[in-house]
Amino acid sequence: MEEMTEKATFGAGCFWGVEATFRDLDGVIDAAAGYEGGHTDNPTYKDVCTDHTGHAEVVQVEYDPSKISYEKLLDVFWTLHDPTQVNRQGPDVGTQYRSVIFFHTAEQEETARESKMRLETSGRYARAIATQIEPARTFYRAEEYHQQYLAKHGLRHCHV
């Protein structure tokens, strides 16, 4: 029997740590670092770092919804970064580091918007949630050296 998988795409700052966290979740089949949401085709890391392509560093997650829910993925997403930051996470600054959820279905859009609203009204943050929620566009897989970067370098996280 073939596994039924779905995709979820999240931008939460530098994609190295985001990819590693999602990859470790039970029910996640794959997590790939890449670029999405911009206006140029086939961007490279160098292109995206110019802050002129409009792309965000994202992680596209392939998951088995019978083992992990989209809601659980969203819960993890919110804990990975500060969603009140605009175009930055920690020392990383630029539109490529924006907080964004790219939804693949109408159900994902509704679930993401409800999740964001719950977080906004929870009182957890003093500032407004800056996370954008947008339809998924073309996902461009990042260069191979970015895939599983932390694992390849024997690191557990990339925060200073």
Topology adopted by domain 6-152: Peptide Methionine Sulfoxide Reductase; Chain A (3.30.1060)
Percent of the chain exceeding pLDDT 90 equals 81
As to burial, measured by CB atoms within 10 angstroms (0-12 exposed, 13-18 middle, 19+ buried), residue 79 is exposed
Catalytic option among 10, 11, 13, 14: 14
Of the listed ranges 20-24, 101-105, 146-150, the one predicted with least confidence: 146-150
What is the arithmetic mean of pLDDT over 73-91? 94
Of the listed ranges 57-71, 110-124, 145-159, the one predicted with least confidence: 145-159
β-pairing verdict for 99-103 and 6-12: antiparallel
For the chain, the structural domain boundaries read: 6-152
Tokens of 61: 């997650």
pTM (global) more than 0.85: yes
The answer to whether residue 49 is catalytic is no
What is the arithmetic mean of pLDDT over 15-27? 92
Query: What pLDDT does 160 receive?
Result: 38
Nearest to 96 by CA among 149, 47, 133: 47
